[in-house]
Chains A and B, each alone.
Chain A
Amino acid sequence: MKKIEIIIRPSKLEDVKQQLSAIGIHGMNYTEIRGFGRQRGHTEVYRGSTYEVDCLPKIKLDIVIHDEALDKVLAAVTSSARTGNIGDGKIFIYDVLDAMRIRTGERGNAAL
């Protein structure tokens, strides 16, 4: 099992969700986060004073999948989240030891 952590633009959340549903991923969690990387922040002006805001809003999706599904998922995410500009986000992939569905006690892939 793999856990993938996907950081994307907030405007791309719906596209990514739709693409993942289309390839059979029916569960995920997402969090609204703030952060910065290579993409520069933006400028805000209040009464003539200019402030540089460097932390931008992003969405972080967490999904746990079967090992075989990984390439399909990566392809779906990159095709739906990419704009080609700096700030499209990153994907981190982790190995998962085990999983368990609380209701039934199922373990491993069956719990996903």
Chain B
Amino acid sequence: MDGFGAPPPATAPARPRRARRPAAAPGPRAARPVFPFSAIVGQDELRDALLLAAVDPAIGGVLALGDRGTGKSTAVRALAALLPPMRSVAGCPYNCDPARPAALCEACRGRPVRAVTVPVPVVDLPLGATEDRVAGALDIERALSGGVKAFEPGLLARAHRGFLYVDEVNLLEDHLVDLLLDVAASGENVVEREGISLRHPARFVLVGSGNPEEGDLRPQLLDRFGLAVEVRTPTDLKARVEVVKRRDAFDRDPEGVTAAWAPAEAALRDRLTAARARLEAVIVPDSAIEDAARLCIALGTDGLRGELTLTRAARALAALEGDPEVTLAHLRRMAPPALRHRLRRNALDEAVATTRVERAMEEVFGA
């Protein structure tokens, strides 16, 4: 016997448990500090992509595929702590925006709303989640105790106006992927189950990460992501040492490290806020739109999503860098992440997709 037997009797299932959590569940962030975004070493493409998605959610999500142990999920969780807070209707399960009366949910419409400042939701969709929790379902507790048919919103509702993060997205069960695809396309979650018929807005930035060696992503889901980032382990020894040192320091003293990086985080947060304010004012010259189109034609990408995403990402980049106008330099930087996953699908070319984009840029834009 090794002593690791079946659960001891102490864990009999029927132990009384504490009462249900209060309605406004604290996010996982409240529990412990997360590694500061500004303290991430390298991974520029991933960091840029996440920041740009925060500047302009319309870019349409970020997919980070790559090696293990590169801090993909660290970066996403760090983003949650970085994002400037937003205004939301107090008590609304869908995080309604008080500034947009037209977009209020049914519950908020026609009643006086009170605005509060809340953190932008960054919601984890864990593997093993069941559909009822993702889409929302009948609230069992209220139904059991009071016979009330009430809807308990799911993760899609919580993620509205924020981010929905799926780690190991390539391992997500098919029926959940279908659900995500549908909602991501329509911006709305339609629930039709156990006598509940309801729809609520669900517009979120979908962020996925994973290791392609464990299974590929469905092509339809791949398409949904605005930006696709390849994450590689840094090969430079200095960078590697720095990653390990910072991570270790954080693990040993999370509060101290968080405090030490607080000024950098605040500066980055201000930059983000300023970029958002600037975004609409950034000039997108016709020549830039043409350049984007020419590049997409040269690459033979499907539809207009490529050009649209590329232009949007370039504009967000200009806003983030404080540039008044989108230039070729912005397009060049955003072309690989905006287009590499949209190339005509010879799926086997995935590894050289970046090279193809770069080659096309050389041809179209000149070296």
Q: Do A and B associate with each other?
A: no
Q: Taking beta carbons and an 8 Å cutoff, which residues of B are in contact with A?
A: none
Q: Taking beta carbons and an 8 Å cutoff, which residues of A are in contact with B?
A: none
